Amino acid sequence: MSNTPFSDGIQAARLDAAELSENFGDLHPRFDDHEALVAADRCYFCHDAPCMTACPTDIDIPLFIRQIATGTPEAAAKTIFDQNILGGMCARVCPTETLCEQVCVRETAEGNPVEIGRLQRYATDKLVDAGLHPFGRADSTGKKVAVVGAGPAGLSAAHRLAMHGHDVTVYDARAKAGGLNEFGIAAYKSVESFAEREVDWLLKIGGITVETGKKLGDGLSLDGLNAEFDAVFLGIGLGGVNALGVDGEDKDGVDDAVDFIAELRQADDLGQMAIGRDVVVIGGGMTAVDAAVQAKLLGALNVSLVYRRGKDRMNASEFEQDLAASKGVRIITNASPKSVIGNGAVREIEFEYTDNDLKPTGQTIRLAADQVFKAIGQTLEGDGLPELEWGKIKVDDTGRTSVAGIWAGGDCATGGDDLTVTAVAEGRDAAEDIHAKLSA
């Protein structure tokens, strides 16, 4: 190993294989049986439980925890999957501290909620690891549905449609299904190829054909799909990355955080992943945190996460912020990028302090940077889409777009937070509406 965290520039192998392996291990290791029983025993089995209400997919949390406590984790998993077929991934990536666990009555009582996320993972892993798929298909309806985008929304919709007996074709632009589960989240949240295994497990339902490398506007047309299929569901996510809009943005070393995250997730050897010595991540959401933390875990000496508003306005949850801080990421708030400085490649980046209304203060700060990751939001890409609103496909409560026969859900559509669990709920609900429409 020739490089260290102190090595200049963007370098691979700043840490040895053992350190990298340790750094990228499971963020929350799975409960063993004993831990799960102890954690499950803490659930009060609340009436009309607040955790259920807080869950975008309405999982019957008290019931599944009771099923774990009584020694039937497989039944618990079925309870979860009934509402959320990607319950395994959601157990790993859901910001439970702002959803179910935030409203747990034991959080109210003791500031220490039942560990719902980890219990969900314990249960769902039982079935996924055993390769047991608890759902079957209804009799074939003879109807065909196209799903564009094999991310959480698309997979959720496809599974529900297949269950109802429709034949589903899922298209995805990438070479692999999974969407953000596969390409868009930190590696330590989905170890041991979980995203890929989960897709394989989900497809056991049957009746779903996945065609990768197919993209709207590049081999696929929405009009064509609408004509060929009985219904179309769009779960295409947000393909575009917002630009900083400052001088020097085109310099070498200035990259999109989503590309870094995707590349890292697909890397066979983390020792081959190059990372700067001084890394600056711009943004305040989960993507920014995932990029910053992983930069640090790869061995960057200094990682700063810079957000233009105050800490309380960051989209990244408090847990994520704390995680970043605990890994040594420096979080700088109320600073807006002004210019990227360097001769060909970035050397420094200048920020101007701003108040919470983004009003410049005139004070500036320069950070050394040999690598800058932009994580200031993604945008919907594509032409000829149904009517948009606020830059997203306008949908009603059941996912219907302005075009008859076309539904949409997940990040590309209006409504709900841009969370995996929300996308799963929207895909599921659109599928139910499609099914109702096709059965009418």
Partner 1 sequence: MANLESDFVGIKSPNPFWLASAPPTDKEYNVRRAFEAGWGGVVWKTLGAEGPPVVNVNGPRYGAIHGADRRLLGLNNIELITDRPLDVNLEEMTRVKRDYPDHALIASVMVPCEEDEWKRILPMIAETGCDGFELNFGCPHGMAERGMGSAVGQVPDYIEMVARWCKEATDLPVIVKLTPNITNILHPAEAALRGGADAVSLINTINSITNVNLDAMSPEPMIDGKGTHGGYCGPAVKPIALNMVAEIARNPETAKLPISGIGGITTWRDAAEFMALGAGNVQVCTAAMTYGFKIVQEMISGLSQWMDEKGYTSTADFVGMATPNVTDWQYLNLNHVTKAVINQDDCISCGRCYAACEDTSHQAIEMSEDRVFTVKDDECVACNLCVNVCPVENCITMRTLDVGEMDERTGKPVEADYGNWTAHPNNPMSTAAE
| Contact positions vs partner 1 (CB under 8 A) | 37-38, 41-42, 44-50, 105-106, 108-109
Nearer to partner 1, 50 or 165 (CB): 50
Q: Is the Cβ of residue 103 or residue 127 nearer to partner 1 in the bound state?
A: 103
* Residue 347, C-beta contacts closer than 8 angstroms, at least 6 positions apart: 341, 368, 369, 370
Query: Of 108, 265, 245, nearest to 174 (Cα)?
Result: 265
**If you write DSSP's letter for every residue of 337-353 in order, what string do you get?**
EEEEE-SSB--EEEEEE
Min dist. Cβ of residue 417 to partner 1 (A): 22
- Report strand pairing: 240-241 vs 215-216: unpaired
Burial of 218 (0-12, 13-18, 19+ CB in 10 A): exposed
Long-range pairs of 317-323 with CB within 8 A, sequence gap ≥ 24: 317/95, 317/97, 317/98, 317/286, 318/97, 318/98, 319/95, 319/97, 320/95, 320/286, 320/289, 321/289, 323/27, 323/289, 323/293
Residue 152's SS3 state is helix
Euclidean distance between the first and final Cα of the chain, in Å?
Answer: 65
Taking the complex as a whole, how short is the minimal distance between the CB of residue 65 and partner 1, in angstroms? 12
CA distance 258 to 287: 7
Is the Cβ of residue 106 or residue 137 nearer to partner 1 in the bound state? 106
Nearer to partner 1, 60 or 278 (CB): 60
Are 283 and 372 a contacting pair, CB within 8 Å? no
Least distance (Å) between residue 359 CB and partner 1 = 37
Kindly state the smallest distance separating residue 79's Cβ from partner 1, in Å.
19
Least distance to partner 1 from the beta carbon of 118, Å? 17
- The alpha-carbon radius of gyration of the chain (Å, integer) is 22
Shortest distance, position 55 Cβ to partner 1, whole Å: 16
CB of 7 to partner 1, least distance (A): 50
Specify the residue for token string 């508003």: 309
Q: Which is nearer to partner 1, 76 or 300 (CB)?
A: 76
Residue nearer to partner 1 on the CB measure, 109 or 436: 109
Distance in Å, CB of 75 to partner 1, minimum: 16
Among residues 12 and 46, whose Cβ is nearest to partner 1? 46
| Closer by beta carbon to partner 1, 38 or else 404 | 38
Q: How far is CA 417 from CA 104, 210, 403, 414, 422, in A?
A: 20, 27, 23, 9, 6
DSSP 3-state assignment of 107? helix
Residue keyed to tokens 């499971």 = 26
